[in-house]
Structure 1
Amino acid sequence: MVAFFALLPAQAAAKAVFAHMIVGNLPEFTLSDWESDIRLAQAAKIDAFALNIAAQDLSTTRSLDLAFQVADALHFSLFFSFDYLAQGPWPADRVVSLIQKYAAHKSYFRHEARPLVSTFEGAAYAADWRAIKAATDAFFFVPDWTSVSAAEAVNLAGGVANGLFSWDAWPRGDANMTTGADRVVLEALRPREGVYMMPVSPWFFTNLPGFGKNWLWRGDELWDVRWQQVLDIQPDFVQILTWNDYGESHYIGPVREKELGLFTTANAPVNYVRSMTHDGWRKFLPFYIEAYKTGKIPGAVQESVVATYRTSPALACPGGGTTGNHGEFGQTEVPPEELVDDNVYYSALLNSDWGVTVTVSIGGKEQTGRFSRGPPAGAETPGVYMGGVPFGGNTGDVVVTVWRDGMRIAAAEGGKGISAKCENNVQNWNAVAV
Structure 2
Amino acid sequence: MHALKTQWYNHSEQSEKNVGSSKGDDSRPRLVVAHFMLGNTYPFTEEDWSATFDLAEDTSVDALVLNLGPEDWQSSQAQTAYRLLASTASKHKLKLFLSLDMNVLPSDPLLLVDKIVSIITVGEQSQLRWGAEIVLGTFGGHALEDGWKEVIRGVEERLGEEVFFWPSFFLPPHEILAKDYVDGAFYWNGAWPMGNQTTSLKEDQAFLDSDKPYMAAVSPLFFTHYGTEGRWAWNKNWIYRSDDLLLPTRFLNLLALPRPQSPSIIQIISWNDFGECHSIAPVRGAQPGSEAWNEGMNHEGFRWMARYFAERWRDSRPEVGTDEGVTTVMWYRTQPKDMIGEDSVARPNNADWAQDLINFFILLPPLAHQKDKFTLHVSNGPESRKSIRLDPGRLNLLTVPFVAGKVSFAVKRNEAEVVLSGEGKEITEGGGWNYNMWSGVFTAKR
Fold equivalence (TM over 0.5): yes
- Superposed, which structure 2 residues align to 1:3-82 within 5 Å? 11=13, 13-54=28-69, 56-72=70-86, 73=90, 74-82=92-100
* Aligned counterpart for 1:235 among listed residues 263, 274, 278: 263
SS where residue 188 of structure 2 aligns? Answer: coil
TM-fit CA distance, 1:299: 5.5
Residues 255 and 277, structure 1, Cα contact 8 Å, conserved in 2: no
Q: Distance in 2 between matches of 1:365 and 1:71?
A: 51
Query: Given the alignment of the two structures, is residue 139 of structure 1 paired with residue 199 of structure 2, yes or no?
Result: no
SS where residue 254 of structure 2 aligns? Answer: helix
Deviates more, 1:212-221 or 1:132-141: 132-141
Q: Distance in 2 between matches of 1:213 and 1:419?
A: 24
TM-fit CA distance, 1:174: 2.4
SS where residue 224 of structure 2 aligns? Answer: strand
Query: Given the alignment of the two structures, is residue 285 of structure 1 paired with residue 306 of structure 2, yes or no?
Result: yes
TM-fit CA distance, 1:380: 4.6
* Aligned counterpart for 2:400 among listed residues 381, 389, 392: 389
Equivalent residue letter for 2:174: A
* Aligned counterpart for 1:312 among listed residues 315, 335, 338: 335
Deviates more, 1:226-235 or 1:361-370: 361-370
TM-fit CA distance, 1:381: 4.3
TM-fit CA distance, 1:175: 1.6
Q: Distance in 1 between matches of 2:109 and 2:65?
A: 19
Structure 2 alignment gaps of length 5 or more: 1-10, 15-27, 228-232, 441-446
Q: Deviations over 1:192-237 (max 9, x none)?
A: x200000001101111121111111110110111111120233110
- Superposed, which structure 2 residues align to 1:204-353 within 5 Å? 204-209=222-227, 210-220=233-243, 221-233=245-257, 234-256=262-284, 258-260=285-287, 262-263=288-289, 271-295=292-316, 297-298=318-319, 300=321, 302=324, 303-318=326-341, 320-325=345-350, 336=351, 338-352=352-366
- Quote the residue 2:436 is aligned against: 430
Structure 1 alignment gaps of length 5 or more: 1-8, 326-335
Q: Distance in 2 between matches of 1:130 and 1:350?
A: 52
Q: Deviations over 1:13-41 (max 9, x none)?
A: 51000100010111001111112222111
With over 3 angstroms needed to count, the CA separation of the structure-2 counterparts of 1:10 and 1:230, relative to structure 1, is: closer
With over 3 angstroms needed to count, the CA separation of the structure-2 counterparts of 1:412 and 1:68, relative to structure 1, is: farther
TM-fit CA distance, 1:284: 2.5
- Quote the residue 2:411 is aligned against: 402
Equivalent residue letter for 1:81: S
With over 3 angstroms needed to count, the CA separation of the structure-2 counterparts of 1:364 and 1:315, relative to structure 1, is: closer
With over 3 angstroms needed to count, the CA separation of the structure-2 counterparts of 1:37 and 1:255, relative to structure 1, is: same
Equivalent residue letter for 1:33: D
Q: Distance in 2 between matches of 1:255 and 1:412?
A: 23
With over 3 angstroms needed to count, the CA separation of the structure-2 counterparts of 1:275 and 1:199, relative to structure 1, is: same
Equivalent residue letter for 2:365: N
Q: Distance in 2 between matches of 1:321 and 1:306?
A: 31
SS where residue 314 of structure 2 aligns? Answer: helix
SS where residue 360 of structure 1 aligns? Answer: strand
Identity %: 27
With over 3 angstroms needed to count, the CA separation of the structure-2 counterparts of 1:47 and 1:404, relative to structure 1, is: farther
Residues 272 and 281, structure 2, Cα contact 8 Å, conserved in 1: yes
* Aligned counterpart for 2:111 among listed residues 94, 112, 119: 94
TM-fit CA distance, 1:339: 1.3
Q: Distance in 1 between matches of 2:405 and 2:194?
A: 30
SS where residue 194 of structure 2 aligns? Answer: coil
Q: Distance in 1 between matches of 2:195 and 2:105?
A: 30
Residues 144 and 167, structure 1, Cα contact 8 Å, conserved in 2: yes
TM-fit CA distance, 1:369: 5.0
Q: Distance in 1 between matches of 2:41 and 2:308?
A: 29
With over 3 angstroms needed to count, the CA separation of the structure-2 counterparts of 1:369 and 1:214, relative to structure 1, is: farther
Q: Deviations over 1:356-375 (max 9, x none)?
A: 2112233686434537xx9x
SS where residue 259 of structure 1 aligns? Answer: coil
TM-fit CA distance, 1:399: 2.8
Q: Deviations over 1:362-409 (max 9, x none)?
A: 3686434537xx9xxxx5543x21112222x4413x333323344444
Normalised by the length of structure 1, the TM-score is 0.82
Equivalent residue letter for 1:29: F
Q: Distance in 1 between matches of 2:208 and 2:12?
A: 26
Q: Deviations over 1:238-277 (max 9, x none)?
A: 0011111111111111124x422x21xxxx7x71112111
Q: Distance in 2 between matches of 1:321 and 1:369?
A: 38
With over 3 angstroms needed to count, the CA separation of the structure-2 counterparts of 1:278 and 1:351, relative to structure 1, is: same
Query: Given the alignment of the two structures, is residue 110 of structure 1 paired with residue 129 of structure 2, yes or no?
Result: yes
Residues 369 and 387, structure 1, Cα contact 8 Å, conserved in 2: no
- Quote the residue 2:25 is aligned against: none
Q: Distance in 2 between matches of 1:237 and 1:183?
A: 15
With over 3 angstroms needed to count, the CA separation of the structure-2 counterparts of 1:144 and 1:412, relative to structure 1, is: farther
Deviates more, 1:218-227 or 1:282-291: 282-291
- Quote the residue 1:123 is aligned against: 142
Q: Deviations over 1:115-135 (max 9, x none)?
A: 211110101113122122222
- Quote the residue 1:194 is aligned against: 212
Name the Cα RMSD after superposition: 2.4
- Quote the residue 2:6 is aligned against: none
SS where residue 237 of structure 2 aligns? Answer: strand
Q: Deviations over 1:128-155 (max 9, x none)?
A: 221222222311111101x211100122
Q: Deviations over 1:74-96 (max 9, x none)?
A: 231111011101x2434322332
Query: Given the alignment of the two structures, is residue 154 of structure 1 paired with residue 190 of structure 2, yes or no?
Result: no
Normalised by the length of structure 2, the TM-score is 0.80
Residues 347 and 386, structure 1, Cα contact 8 Å, conserved in 2: yes
SS where residue 38 of structure 1 aligns? Answer: helix
Q: Distance in 1 between matches of 2:83 and 2:332?
A: 37
Q: Distance in 1 between matches of 2:302 and 2:420?
A: 16
